[in-house]
């Protein structure tokens, strides 16, 4: 867990019965010489997405949402969505209607056609024209973004969870903060997970750093609360909080007497929902960094469930095939090994995503956790 190349790190592992390991190392802020603590608050970015997926599946259980219904049935502003095929010789965008409507299932599996403008060449060029607000600008204007391909024809990491966040609010009449707090965070006692930080919590927020190619670390501006609640990346959390979320899923949707999902629903989420498509295979218009970002386990052909990447292969010394996983931009990672009743979360606060030192630390952390299990058995 010690590394001079990463300012600070927190690692927690658990099974369905409880926490089996927790460790902290390094600094939460280098300039202030503040130690990272087990309850330090970190930006989890895209590790927000699995929580949004759970919220959607709660509404599916209640019959308020159907997976294979057009998302436009719940968000009418999506009815006129177009596919961006490219640009003509004069630079004018070539747009056409999609072959089929975007469904809720496709939004959960990154097969909807909605992509991130920062990782898709065509989407970046179109966003630069100013014809729709950026996903990073706040607000729901990004719903006017075009699709990069026909729904269901490709897998490409995108803004589907942000669309789902707006959909949750439309269906429930609650903000994401209200809904998540009532239906997920309070039942699971995740008291340090939220979209907005209070003045009392700010001192516990770890600084996020950008690492240069030479390894130099530069602090990024402090997080500010946003009026837009991003279902794709807006939450802050702690490692102890997030491990409770993972334990609930590991235990079939229940933790300490609080049930957030039915066992059958968790099993459904853990199944492959993209067929023969390969998660991480981004097609012909994605920027090179995208495919590299998902190459955490080279040579592994991965699938995608309802909100989770599914590791298809055994990780040497680590998780079993069929394990669920995802990550956040600032090199936060988790896995849920359903076969071995084990989950883990490793959190740093450095950019860029896929940092080699962070990935090496993740590998060492995971291997050490499984070695502990083997010794105990």
- Per residue in 69-94, pLDDT tens? 999 999 999 999 999 999 999 999 99
Q: How far apart are the first and last CA of the chain?
A: 23
Q: How confident is the model at residue 289 (pLDDT cuts 50, 70, 90)?
A: very low
**What does the angle CA 230 – CA 169 – CA 303 come to, to the nearest 5 degrees?**
60
Q: Quick check: 232 pLDDT over 50?
A: yes
Domain boundaries, the chain: 8-48+176-376, 71-169
Instruction: Please write the tens of the pLDDT for every residue from 34-67.
Output: 999 999 999 999 999 999 999 999 999 999 999 9
121 exposure class (CB count in 10 Å sphere: 0-12, 13-18, 19+): middle
CATH number of 8-48+176-376: 3.40.710.10
pLDDT recorded at residue 2: 40
For the segment 148-171, the average pLDDT, to the nearest whole number, is: 97
pLDDT recorded at residue 93: 94
Q: How confident is the model at residue 297 (pLDDT cuts 50, 70, 90)?
A: low
Q: Name the least confident of 49-53, 147-151, 370-374.
A: 370-374
DSSP state of 73: G
Catalytic residues: 46, 49, 157
Q: Name the least confident of 172-176, 286-290, 333-337.
A: 286-290
Where is mean pLDDT largest: 103-107, 120-124, 295-299, 352-356?
103-107
| Residue with the larger pLDDT of the pair 292 and 19 | 19
Q: How confident is the model at residue 224 (pLDDT cuts 50, 70, 90)?
A: confident
For the segment 90-104, the average pLDDT, to the nearest whole number, is: 96
Q: 141, 51, 89: which is closest to 326 by C-alpha?
A: 51
CA distance 251 to 269: 13
User: What's the chain's average pLDDT?
Assistant: 92
Q: How confident is the model at residue 290 (pLDDT cuts 50, 70, 90)?
A: very low
Q: Quick check: 134 pLDDT over 90?
A: no
For the segment 20-40, the average pLDDT, to the nearest whole number, is: 97
- Residue 83 CB: number of other CB atoms within 10 A? 17
- What are residue 21's phi and psi, to 5 degrees? -160, 145
Burial 260-291 (b: 16+ CB within 10 A, else e): bbeeebbebbbebbbeebbbbbbeebbbeebb
Q: 170, 176, 173: which is closest to 53 by C-alpha?
A: 176
pLDDT recorded at residue 293: 46
- Residue 140: cis peptide before it, omega within 30 degrees of 0: no
pLDDT recorded at residue 288: 47
For the segment 128-150, the average pLDDT, to the nearest whole number, is: 89
DSSP H helical ranges for 213-327: 239-250, 263-269, 288-293
Proportion of the chain above pLDDT 70, given as a percent = 94
pLDDT recorded at residue 298: 52
Q: In Å, what is the CA distance from 284 to each residue of 59, 120, 156?
A: 35, 9, 10
Q: Quick check: 315 pLDDT over 50?
A: yes
User: pTM for the full model?
Assistant: 0.95
Q: Name the least confident of 62-76, 98-112, 124-138, 244-258.
A: 124-138
Q: Name the least confident of 33-37, 68-72, 278-282, 290-294.
A: 290-294
Q: How confident is the model at residue 291 (pLDDT cuts 50, 70, 90)?
A: very low
């Amino acid at each position: 867990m010690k590394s001079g190349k990463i300012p600070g790190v927190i690692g927690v592992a658990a099974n369905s019965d409880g926490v089996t390991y927790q460790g902290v190392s390094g600094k939460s802020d280098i300039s202030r010489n503040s130690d990272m603590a087990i309850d330090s608050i970190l930006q989890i970015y895209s590790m927000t997405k699995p929580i949004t997926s759970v919220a959607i599946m709660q509404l599916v259980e209640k019959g308020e949402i159907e997976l294979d219904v057009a998302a436009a049935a719940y968000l009418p502003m999506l009815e006129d969505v177009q596919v961006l095929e490219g640009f003509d010789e004069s630079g004018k965008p070539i747009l056409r209607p999609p072959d089929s409507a975007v469904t809720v299932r496709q939004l959960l599996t990154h097969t909807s056609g909605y992509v991130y403008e920062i990782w898709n060449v065509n989407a970046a060029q179109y966003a630069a024209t100013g014809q729709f607000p950026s996903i990073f600008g706040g607000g729901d204007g990004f719903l006017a973004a075009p699709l990069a391909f026909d729904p269901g024809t490709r897998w490409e990491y995108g803004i589907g969870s942000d669309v789902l966040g707006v959909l949750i609010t439309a269906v429930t009449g609650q903000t994401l903060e209200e809904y998540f707090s009532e239906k997920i965070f309070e039942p699971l006692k995740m008291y340090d997970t939220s979209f907005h930080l209070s003045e009392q919590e700010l001192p516990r927020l770890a600084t996020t750093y950008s690492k240069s190619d030479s390894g130099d670390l530069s602090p990024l501006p402090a997080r500010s609360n946003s009026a837009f609640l991003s279902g794709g990346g807006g939450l802050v959390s702690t490692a102890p909080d997030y491990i409770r979320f993972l334990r609930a899923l590991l235990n079939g949707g229940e933790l300490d007497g609080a049930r957030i999902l039915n066992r059958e629903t968790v099993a459904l989420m853990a199944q492959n929902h993209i067929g023969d498509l390969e998660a991480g295979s981004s097609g012909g218009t994605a920027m090179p960094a995208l495919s590299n970002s998902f190459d955490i386990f080279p040579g592994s052909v991965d699938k995608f469930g309802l909100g989770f990447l599914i590791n298809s292969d055994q990780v040497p010394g680590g998780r079993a095939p069929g394990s669920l996983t995802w990550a956040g931009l600032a090199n936060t990672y988790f896995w849920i090994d359903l076969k071995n009743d084990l989950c883990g979360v490793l959190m740093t606060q450095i950019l860029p995503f896929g940092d080699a030192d962070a990935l090496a630390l993740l590998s060492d952390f995971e291997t050490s956790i499984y070695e502990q299990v083997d010794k105990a058995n």
